[in-house]
Amino acid sequence: MAVKHHRQALREAAAAILADLPSTRERVYQSRVWPVDASRLPCLLIFTRREQRGEVSRPPRKFDRSLELIVEGIVAASEATLDDRLDTIAAEVEAALAASPNLAGTAKECIYENTVCELRAREGEKPVGAVQLVYAVEYRTTEADPTVGIA
């Protein structure tokens, strides 16, 4: 059996919570791969970027961790209502994650931090609009086993 870090469980929980939102439906991917094929738009990408260690207990050590979880909504930029579509996706994501503030029991807390909207274009590609929502996810593991989140 493959070993997976608890971060993967957190991404999986977020993906499950965000599955089937009205704007993106089942198009939820646990990846930051870009560009996304036009047939898969609009969609959500869920990934983690950085993590910091907080408090440490005495041996056997337990680490409090703060993880940056990114939920990125992507839509075709050719739409005249691009900003409205991005805002709708952001509202759906925020409401869904607020309804499960501990990511279905996998985290201590999942707290909204900030949002960035942008237009992206690569040479030869059709431009897309993106809304990136950043969340701080607080969780704890032991030093010996980062695969399991603990209380």
Q: Per-residue confidence of the chain (151 residues) as pLDDT tens digits?
A: 678 999 999 999 999 999 999 999 999 999 887 667 888 899 999 999 999 998 788 888 899 999 999 999 999 987 678 999 999 999 999 999 999 999 999 999 999 999 999 998 866 678 899 999 999 999 999 999 999 999 7
How far is CA 112 from its chain centroid? 11
Residue matched to tokens 């930029």:
77
Query: For the chain, which domains are there?
Result: 6-142 (3.30.70.1700)
Burial class (CB in 10 A: 0-12, 13-18, 19+), 2: exposed
Contacts of 131 (CB under 8 A, 6+ apart): 72, 73, 86, 87, 89, 90, 115, 116, 117
Contacts of 72 (CB under 8 A, 6+ apart): 32, 44, 45, 46, 47, 130, 131, 132, 133
pTM: 0.92
Residues 105 and 85 sit within 8 Å (Cβ to Cβ) = no
